[in-house]
Structure 1
Amino acid sequence: MTEVTAAPNEWLDALRAECQRTGSQATVARALGYSPAVINQVLRGTYGGNVERVREVVEGALLGITVDCPILGDIPRDACLRHQDREFAATNPSRVQLYYACRSGCLNSHLPKEY
């Protein structure tokens, strides 16, 4: 499957538009799982962290970009990243499967292959 991506600055335009729509960078930051400072710095072009990760979260949450998860099927890119961040917990079979899939060479994962 070919990965779908947004146009180069479409994600920044979407982030700006969402901040204008809500009237608050803080509201958008909370919805995306970032601090208001991160969103402000990204919009100003001064963020020193992982801008690519912010881009992927924005593309999933605001632009509807999806990835093909080997466990869940078609999911938003930001959801994929959240699954990668989760610690192991044997709370249900899907969570266990996701944990191992994200660490077993999944093409969408940014994590090193462990299994």
Structure 2
Amino acid sequence: MLNESIIAIETSEPRWLAVLRKQCEKRGQGKVATDLKISKTMISQALNKKYPGDLGKLEQRVRGAYLGDTVNCPILGELETNKCLNHQRQSFTAVNPIRVQLYRACNCTCPHSQKNKD
């Protein structure tokens, strides 16, 4: 039995939301949440149009993971938008020189950084 929150698809909903809905129908909200590195609650609220926050980051994650949208990372080159957001969430660690470069770029110089937009 399908979850009621993912049964009806409105024709007016954005493509990324329709894709998210379809992925949840096929694979379940838990697996999709794991893929996108977000909570099941966020997905459920977004599908039910009850999410109180900005859906921009969720949209970027869906577009990167399921629609192939990319950004040009100053450190790694072409990168899916969801992976870009994952790198931005990581805390500083000096174990790997690439990780240090990513941390600096994601927090200071990268035009795709969401850190200073919140």
* TM-score bracket for the superposition, by shorter chain length: 0.7 to 0.9
> Normalising to structure 1: TM-score of the pair?
0.85
Q: Which residue of 2 aligns with 1:66?
A: 70
Counterpart mapping for 1:6-21 below 5 A: 9-21=14-26
- TM (norm. structure 2) is 0.83
Segments of 4+ moved more than 4 angstroms: none
Alignment-mate amino acid for residue 17 of structure 2:
L
Q: Which runs of 5+ in 2 are unaligned?
A: 1-12
Partner SS state of residue 64, structure 1: coil
Aligned positions, number? 105
Residue by residue, what CA displacement relative to the aligned partner does 1:93-114 show, whole Å, maximum 9, x if unpaired? 100000011122211111239x
Of residues 11, 30, 35, the one that matches 1:26 is 30
CA RMSD of aligned residues (A): 1.6
- SS class of match (2:20): helix
Report the Cα offset of residue 15 of structure 1. Answer: 0.2
Q: Residue 75 of structure 2 aligns to a residue in which SS? A: coil
Shift of 1:50: 2.8
Give the Cα–Cα distance (whole angstroms) in 1 for the partners of residues 34 and 105 of structure 2.
27
Q: Which residues in structure 2 correspond to 1:1-115 (within 5 Å)?
A: 9-22=14-27, 24-112=28-116
Greater relative CO (CA pairs within 8 A, separation 6+): 1
Taking the aligned partners of 1:97 and 1:21, their CA distance within structure 2 comes to 38
